[in-house]
Chain A
Amino acid sequence: LAKTTQPISMDSYEGQEVNITCSHNNIATNDYITWYQQFPSQGPRFIIQGYKTKVTNEVASLFIPADRKSSTLSLPRVSLSDTAVYYCLVALYSSASKIIFGSGTRLSIRP
């Protein structure tokens, strides 16, 4: 399983766009990139997943360059409720694939 590296913490303000970059130099051909969000006292929640280029859903966008050695989670117009820990993972796209969590990025949003 590819190891991921992401900033330990980030700060931003309400209404700003936040970009969290994750490095995964050893990503394998069949690996997908997945991001989870975790609030205090809750289990992680799936945010978005992608393989290459750009993926967008109602919550976030995920940008993946051609070499796939990194990815960027983009949160548009953050609010205080986006304060959480964000985990970047790479995992094989197959049935019952286990996922390994990295250290995560602790995002703090200020008024």
Chain B
Amino acid sequence: SAVISQKPSRDICQRGTSLTIQCQVDSQVTMMFWYRQQPGQSLTLIATANQGSEATYESGFVIDKFPISRPNLTFSTLTVSNMSPEDSSIYLCSVELQGNGEQYFGPGTRLTVT
């Protein structure tokens, strides 16, 4: 298994500003994933972050809005840029250890944009 922590756990931000969310894993992993979950909704995959290469973004998400860093095998950041109230959501990171579709999720970062 894997233990994943995220910082901050929650934040309230003003529109137009940016927030960087950190994801730390207690073991080395190749792939990390970033999701967004709006209240009462399912999870939407934002991007897949592979250490040593550019992140791969899903349709509807772009690097300028959600830049991702992956400096090593245990850490990643997701930045939500130029925020608007529509970006209010829970952002989760996850990892897959064994290549079998079993992912471990962090506790999430609850973002509110005013």
Contacts and interface: CB of A to CB of B under 8 A. Distances in A.
B100 A98 contact: no
Interface residues of B, number: 24
A34 interface: yes
Given A42-B107, A42-B108, A102-B42, A97 B30 contact: no
Contact of A87 (B30, B42, B50, B92): B42
Interface string A85-100: 0010101111111111
Contacts of A41: 107-108
B45 interface: yes
A100 B99 contact: no
Contacts of A44: 43, 103, 105
Contacts of B99: 93-97
A34 to B, nearest CB: 5
Given A44-B43, A103-B42, A98 B33 contact: yes
A53 B91 CA distance: 35
Contacts of B35: 101
Contacts of B105: 42-45
Taking each of A44, A100, A101, A104, which has the highest tally of chain B beta carbons within 10 Å of its own beta carbon? Answer: A44
Interface in A71-111: 87, 89, 91-104
